[in-house]
Structure 1
Amino acid sequence: MNRRTTALSATVALAATLALTGCSSDGSSDSAKSGKPELKVSGAFMPQPVMDMAGGFLTITNSGDTADRLTSVTSGLSDDVTLHETKNQKMQQVKSFDIPANGDLKLERGGNHIMFMELKGKPKQGEKVSVELHFEKSDPIKVDLPVEAPNHNPKQH
């Protein structure tokens, strides 16, 4: 009976240890194992609007082994927020942007960007505009876009 109790206790302890090691508080090792995208946003900004429309720019870095897709953006600044690509110096609306595994999606001046139409207000330089990025696989990410000078372009700095 004593051996049986000891063996049962050892089995329960092993099962508990295995269950706990699967629940990492870090999250990074779990995501790598499960193949989820690992998204981070940097370099976000909006040039101060001069009309009733504005552009939004940022970089989404995916350090995960699985690609994702930016599918939409929402904001209290406008009910009409769309994704635009620039090809041959012409803007056109697109349904989504791919975010490659272990890669970046760059939304920048002169290229792909977020477009805000029919603004409900005109944010001024120094203010921030809150947006929520929506993805095909990942949870939404809330981002504050600092409002910069109308001619602000990080590439020129």
Structure 2
Amino acid sequence: MRRLTLPGAALAGALALAGCGGSDASKPDLSASSVYMPQPVSADMAAGFLTIVNKGGTKDELTSVTSDQAGRITLHSTSGGAMQEVTSFAVPAHGRLVFESGGNHLMFENLKHKPKQGDTLTLRLKFAGSGPLTVEMPVKPATYNPSTDH
């Protein structure tokens, strides 16, 4: 009888530990990739692009972006060729939020200095549910296209 009790206890302990690990998978798990800013033409305004990946099982929401190098960064959606400022973007569970040329993008306003190719800006992405995410945004050539340049 004792032999049956020990394996049963071990199984119960293993299941309890697995349950603890599973709860983390239900939280947002955010990271950023494909981060870049084309070298801007304007001295005080620029666009920025990136992809926010959520490997977690819960959605989140990007609510703001800040940088010491810009007075203000706004979130913009583009639909049917029309650009519109928005207050937030959803980051779906097990999904991604894509900012790309011709689509959703970040607008950098009141830049402290005109970014040049080779510079890097530090961004702080803020979310409704998760802690902030710090991202380095390299400045690429004005004609940079991530689908053809790697």
Give me the TM-score of the superposition, normalised by structure 1.
0.79
Q: Does residue 117 of the first structure (1) align with residue 112 of the second (2)?
A: no
Which structure shows the bigger proportion of residues in strand conformation?
A: 2
Q: Which residue is equivalent to 1:129?
A: 121
Q: Which residue is equivalent to 1:12?
A: none
Matches within 5 A, 1:60-139: 60-139=52-131
List alignment gaps of at least 5 residues for structure 1: 1-16
* Count of residue pairs the alignment pairs up: 134
Residue type at the aligned position of 1:46: M
3-state secondary structure, aligned to 1:31: helix
RMSD: 2.0
Question: In the aligned structure 2, how far is the partner of 1:76 from the partner of 1:83?
Answer: 17
Q: Kindly provide the CA deviation profile for residues 58-81 of structure 1, in whole angstroms up to 9, marking residues without a partner as x.
A: 001111110000000000111211
Question: In the aligned structure 1, how far is the partner of 2:73 from the partner of 2:87?
Answer: 11
Q: Which residue is equivalent to 1:140?
A: 132
List alignment gaps of at least 5 residues for structure 2: 1-12
Q: Report the Cα offset of residue 153 of structure 1.
A: 1.4
Percent of pairs with identical residues? 48
Give me the TM-score of the superposition, normalised by structure 2.
0.82
Q: Which residue is equivalent to 1:44?
A: 35
Following TM superposition, the consecutive aligned residue runs of length 4 or more in structure 1 with deviations greater than 4 angstroms are none
Choose 1 or 2 for highest CA Rg: 1
3-state secondary structure, aligned to 1:154: coil
Question: In the aligned structure 2, how far is the partner of 1:50 from the partner of 1:77?
Answer: 16
Residue type at the aligned position of 1:43: S
Question: In the aligned structure 2, how far is the partner of 1:61 from the partner of 1:29?
Answer: 19
Question: In the aligned structure 1, how far is the partner of 2:22 from the partner of 2:138?
Answer: 32
